[in-house]
């Protein structure tokens, strides 16, 4: 039996996230599981007069291709993919991986060949299309979340179909404040960090690019970051899991890095010149997402969290001039049960222990966002 929540999610992805229009080509990509959602998207796209196309990627086959790739092969893939993407106006990318460690043991050199070749494709998708990415509920991700599949599905549909338009309006005050802020000071256990976000502008993330969503991001002035940060969540990059990541900064650059696997961490940070500089600073506000599950798409939206991102800065939005083949969102949670912490803007306390302090920002605190969404659901009944 078809889950009616899939239809609701598909409608939101088409009408709100990608704003698909009549006559537009839309590419639906499925990595692993997710065909039931893809079917709803195909039907919905045709109902709206759009032209859907489907790409299905098997994760084991993708690993085999990556293991044997060469610069010449990856260049051909880039050429073909760029040609295809010239015609695509919108894209929905569904990740339903059965094993997110499938490529963990592929040599880093192979991964870099693919990253270097495909970066122009990724840049085109990000900057030239209306795209959204999301995951699909699988046994693998439910296990990571510490839930049964049924429990995770209930959580998944609740967080993926909340009223993102209301969240967007609640973000206005935080965006306005970040737009006019110069100095940022973050304090917490093992963290004392200073940097500037002057004149870089802030971007609201409320369901247009990620599902689930719930963050407002900017970027630090590239050479302004000084101090130390210690992350209190696990983070996985290119299939390798890291714990207790710690960075020390001098004039924007990570000059010392340590973690549970320090050597592997530094290999990633040595990918290129931009890998040791920060491309993004973001504040998470999703009221339904409270605990980490080592899944970036969910963890970076955790209420009371922020993330600090080595690597590429978004070129069309809050671009600080840092370019890199990596973009690694690493999350720190500042709610009391995770050790607490503070965020200060220009000497004013903005958030303490995960809750916004200024009255103008109270609508973004979890209890207020949850109440707002509950009232919307009751009005629809």
- Please write the tens of the pLDDT for every residue from 23-66: 999 999 999 999 999 999 999 999 999 999 999 999 999 999 99
Confidence band of 317 (pLDDT split at 50, 70, 90): confident
Question: What is the spatial distance between Cα 45 and Cα 23, in angstroms, rounded to a whole number?
Answer: 10
Domains observed in the chain: 4-160 (3.40.1830.10), 164-380 (no CATH)
**C-alpha angle 190-196-201 in degrees, rounded to nearest 5:** 120
DSSP calls for 78-106: HHHHHHHHTT-SEEEEEEE-S-TTTTTTS
- Please write the tens of the pLDDT for every residue from 73-89: 999 999 999 999 999 99
The region, left, alpha or beta by phi > 0 then psi within -120 to 50, assigned to residue 314 is beta
pLDDT of residue 1 exceeding 80, the answer is: no
Confirm if 131 and 90 have CB atoms less than 8 A apart: yes
Question: What is the spatial distance between Cα 175 and Cα 282, in angstroms, rounded to a whole number?
Answer: 11
**Can you tell me which residue has the tokens 């997110």?**
100
**Under DSSP, is residue 348 helix (H, G, I), strand (E, B) or coil?**
strand
pLDDT of residue 162: 87
User: Is the bond into 233 cis (omega within 30 degrees of 0)?
Assistant: no
Question: What is the spatial distance between Cα 136 and Cα 178, in angstroms, rounded to a whole number?
Answer: 33
pLDDT of residue 379 exceeding 70, the answer is: no
- Please write the tens of the pLDDT for every residue from 345-377: 999 999 999 999 999 999 999 988 875 555 444
- The pLDDT > 90 percentage for the chain reads 87
Average pLDDT, rounded, for the chain? 94
Question: What is the spatial distance between Cα 170 and Cα 53, in angstroms, rounded to a whole number?
Answer: 35
Window from 132-136, 242-246, 312-316 with minimum mean pLDDT: 312-316
Window from 35-39, 51-55, 110-114, 279-283 with minimum mean pLDDT: 110-114
- Please write the tens of the pLDDT for every residue from 195-232: 999 999 999 999 999 999 999 999 999 999 999 999 99
pLDDT of residue 297: 93
Confirm if 139 and 149 have CB atoms less than 8 A apart: yes
* Furthest CA-CA distance within the chain: 57
């Amino acid at each position: 039996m078809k889950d009616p929540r899939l239809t609701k999610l598909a409608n939101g992805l088409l009408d709100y996230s990608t704003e698909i229009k009549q006559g537009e080509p839309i590419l639906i990509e499925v990595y692993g599981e997710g065909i039931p959602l893809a079917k709803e998207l195909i039907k919905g796209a045709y109902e709206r007069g759009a032209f859907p196309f489907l790409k299905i990627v098997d994760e084991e086959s993708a690993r085999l291709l990556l293991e044997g790739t060469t610069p010449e092969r990856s260049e051909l893939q880039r050429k073909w993919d760029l040609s295809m993407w010239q015609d695509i106006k919108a894209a929905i990318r569904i990740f339903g991986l059965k094993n997110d460690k499938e490529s963990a043991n592929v040599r880093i050199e192979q991964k870099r060949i693919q990253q270097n070749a495909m970066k122009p494709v990724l840049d085109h998708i990000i900057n030239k299309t209306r795209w959204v990415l999301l995951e699909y509920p699988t046994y693998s991700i439910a296990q990571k979340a510490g839930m049964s599949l049924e429990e995770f599905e209930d959580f998944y549909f609740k967080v993926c179909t909340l009223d993102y338009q209301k969240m967007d309006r609640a973000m206005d005050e935080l965006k306005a404040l970040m737009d006019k802020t110069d100095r940022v000071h973050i304090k917490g256990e093992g963290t004392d960090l200073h940097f500037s976000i002057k004149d870089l502008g802030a971007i609201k993330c409320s369901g247009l690019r990620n599902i689930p969503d719930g963050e407002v991001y900017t970027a630090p002035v590239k050479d302004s970051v000084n101090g130390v940060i210690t992350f209190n969540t696990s983070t996985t990059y290119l299939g390798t899991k890291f714990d207790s990541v710690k960075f020390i900064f001098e004039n924007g650059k990570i000059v010392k890095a340590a973690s549970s696997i320090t050597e592997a961490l530094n290999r990633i940070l040595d990918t290129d010149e931009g890998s040791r500089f920060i491309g993004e600073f973001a504040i998470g506000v999703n009221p339904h997402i409270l605990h980490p599950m080592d899944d970036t798409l969910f963890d970076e939206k955790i209420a009371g969290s922020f993330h600090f991102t080595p690597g590429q800065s978004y070129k069309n939005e809050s671009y600080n001039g840092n370019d890199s083949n990596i973009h690694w969102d690493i999350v720190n949670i500042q709610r009391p049960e995770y050790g607490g912490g503070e965020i200060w803007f220009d000497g004013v306390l903005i958030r303490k222990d995960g809750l916004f302090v200024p009255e103008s920002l109270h609508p973004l605190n979890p209890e207020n966002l949850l109440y707002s969404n509950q009232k919307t659901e009751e009005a629809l009944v």
